Amino acid sequence: METRRDERIGQLLAALKRSDKLHLKEAAALLGVSEMTIRRDLSANSAPVVLLGGYIVLEPRSAGHYLLSDQKTRLVEEKRRAAELAASLLQPHQMAFFDCGTTTPWIIEAIHHDLPFTGVCYSLNTFLALQEKPLCRAILCGGEFHASNAIFKPLNFNETLSNLRPDIAFYSAAGVHAEQGATCFNLEELPVKHWAMSHAQFHVLVVDHSKFGKVRQASMGPLSQFDVLVSDCRPDESLVNAAKTYQIKLMY
């Protein structure tokens, strides 16, 4: 039986088909209820719409989109465990590429403060993490800023990236599938990810277990492109078998 809360959420969903966001005050006027009522509706159990920064939007995962702010508090301990394993692969004086996402800063945090290295990145949160390492030479690749995932999409690869050849690259992904490979939500991330896959010498995919078996919209590449798959626990059998086939080292 549909409750009044269900009816209100249904009306919000209908409104969001016409616009990508709806201010809380506008939503209250539309439904003829108080802002507090809507806050309660959206905080009780899971809902296909959420309140972000005073605006009602489609819940990021149900919308098929990725919001960095939405992901920062999810599976933190799992990401930290995988990141600590990945950080152990970095050697002194290497140049390392660090992908965007919420797992990558944990990799950087786990790097010992006494380790000298060069860090190449294209996302704001990754750059801020690199700044905390006293012996890190940080290189931030500029370009058009995308707020949802805090990345800078390069406008001209000849300016910086074409001159770099990282020793090691750490990648994040939103999906890891035995047949479909590594995928992410945002197409604008692909140019830099693909650059790293073409120019780095050693490739490390770092994900928590929730990414296993998932396939997202943007293709990073097949699993055969990676040398190591790092996670917080053992992957499913299909991924274990794929790792054996492609001679990918598993760390968990």
Question: Which parts of the chain are beta strand (E)?
Answer: 22-23, 49-52, 55-58, 95-98, 117-121, 136-140, 144-146, 151-153, 168-171, 175-177, 181-184, 203-206, 218-221, 228-230, 249-251
Alpha carbons 76 and 82: distance in angstroms, whole number: 10
Residue 24: CB atoms within 10 A of its CB come to 17
Question: Which parts of 20-166 are beta strand (E)?
Answer: 22-23, 49-52, 55-58, 95-98, 117-121, 136-140, 144-146, 151-153
- Share the mean pLDDT of the chain: 88
The mean pLDDT of 184-188, rounded to a whole number, is 92
Alpha carbons 204 and 126: distance in angstroms, whole number: 16
pLDDT for 187: 92
152 φ, ψ (degrees, to nearest 5): -110, 115
Q: Where does the pLDDT of residue 48 fall: very low under 50, low under 70, confident under 90, or very high at 90 and above? A: confident
Whether residue 52 is predicted with pLDDT greater than 80 in this model: the reply is no
Alpha carbons 204 and 110: distance in angstroms, whole number: 15
pLDDT in tens, 128-152: 899 889 999 999 998 888 877 778 8
The mean pLDDT of 169-175, rounded to a whole number, is 97
Alpha carbons 211 and 183: distance in angstroms, whole number: 10
Q: Is the pTM of this model over 0.85?
A: no
The mean pLDDT of 185-190, rounded to a whole number, is 92
Answer for the pair 175, 211: CB distance below 8 angstroms, yes or no.
Answer: yes
pLDDT for 44: 67
10-19, 98-107, 168-177, 204-213: the lowest-pLDDT one: 10-19
Q: Where does the pLDDT of residue 124 fall: very low under 50, low under 70, confident under 90, or very high at 90 and above? A: confident
Alpha carbons 230 and 81: distance in angstroms, whole number: 10
